[in-house]
Structure 1
Amino acid sequence: MIFSPVLTRLRPIWRDALALLYAVRDRRTPDRARWIAAGALLYALSPVDLLPDGVPLLGMGDDLVIVPALLAYAARGLPAPVLADARARSARLSRQVPWLLPALVGLLVVGAVLAVWGLLRLARG
């Protein structure tokens, strides 16, 4: 498979992101961790950034640094039993739905190709 090395590296990140989603939904999760995770999601979806996305390389770089840092900070605020339960649930789901991660990576690649194609069309006028 073409994307095998990429999928191998993305699999633990996917599992941890899914585990954080499960942990945030758990009643035992402290409100602070929930707010930080919600803030990371809002920052990722918000059109307002510290560095505008139009700035080459740096615009997307702040999203790639700030969002994972906030999510890691939220995960550190989780109680150990909550995190262990959430990781177990995400590992079970990852085994049950093995096609989901390759499908998401494929969608990202198609989206990137379409974005580059659109930019090239705009540049040609």
Structure 2
Amino acid sequence: MKKIKDWAKNLKRQIYVLYFAYKHDNVPWYAKVFAACIVAYAFSPIDLIPDFIPVLGYLDEVIILPLGIMIALKMIPKETLAECEKKASYELEHRKPKNWIMGTVIITLWSIIFLWGTIQGYQLLQDKAR
């Protein structure tokens, strides 16, 4: 059980590393975009595969998310990565980072997707009714 807790703690730290890398000037734009997507997905309350689906529900937390983190970390220059790791370690030890702007963006994005899906479903039902 301790091994799983350590793995989860390391995963959380790596997500914060990506968060700080996204904001860093020395990170290429494509790495910033990829890192932002991984961080947004990690903090999003909505999963690609819903958790209530047996076995497959946790696939994103166990395989997809760590794989995305690994790829994103490889895109970041080593010096910048070391700097972001120090910053993430400090933040996790001393205070919880808060970014209301990013949270608002995530909630807005998922709301737009939900609204779009609802409209599409309604239009589909209207077309079938005719």
Give TM class, smaller chain. 0.5 to 0.7
Q: 1:18-97 alignment to 2 at 5 Å?
A: 18-44=16-42, 45=44, 47=46, 49=48, 51=49, 53-97=51-95
CA distance in 2: counterparts of 1:58 and 1:52, whole angstroms: 8
Which structure is higher in RCO with an 8 Å CA cutoff and minimum separation 6? 1
Question: Conserved in 2, the CA contact under 8 Å of 1:24 and 1:34?
Answer: yes
Q: Using the TM superposition, name which of 21-30 and 55-64 deviates more.
A: 55-64
RMSD: 2.8
Identity of aligned pairs, percent?
22
CA distance 1:46–1:13, shift in 2 (3 Å): closer
Question: Conserved in 2, the CA contact under 8 Å of 1:41 and 1:67?
Answer: no
Report the count of equivalent residues.
Answer: 94
CA distance in 2: counterparts of 1:76 and 1:88, whole angstroms: 17
Amino acid at match of 2:36: A
Length-normalised TM-score, structure 1: 0.58
Length-normalised TM-score, structure 2: 0.56
Which of structure 1's runs of 4+ aligned residues deviate more than 6 A? none
- Structure 1: stretches of 5+ with no match in the other structure: 101-125
CA distance 1:13–1:53, shift in 2 (3 Å): closer
Amino acid at match of 1:14: K
